[in-house]
Amino acid sequence: MPVRIRLTRIGTNQKPFFRVVAASREKPRDGSFLEVLGVYNPKLKEKKFNVNKERIEFWLKKGAIPSRVVGQMLKKDLRIVTKCES
């Protein structure tokens, strides 16, 4: 069961809000997930990206691969360099 660290949308129309989750690669974007790792709110001026760094590192050590967008945010905000999904 390959695990991806990706965003899942929980916001409404015109008000996007995302959770950063660890989910099986086969599950749909807004389907079931293994664990909530943080949140991302693109509507705030400073574009808040809050995650639990310890749990992100735990999943990365277990072999999880972040999506391209999450990988870019991890690199920018937390200085975590990972190999991302294409």
Q: Which domain holds residue 35?
A: 3-78
Q: CATH number, domain at 74?
A: 3.30.1320.10
User: Per residue in 43-74, pLDDT tens?
Assistant: 888 768 889 989 999 999 999 999 998 998 88
**Long-range contacts, stretch 64-68, CB < 8 angstroms, 24+ apart:** 64/3, 64/4, 64/5, 64/22, 65/2, 65/3, 65/4, 65/5, 66/4, 66/5, 66/6, 67/4, 67/5, 67/6, 67/7
Q: How many domains does the chain have?
A: 1
Query: Is a pLDDT exceeding 70 seen at residue 10?
Result: yes
pTM of the predicted model as reported, rounded to 2 decimal places: 0.82
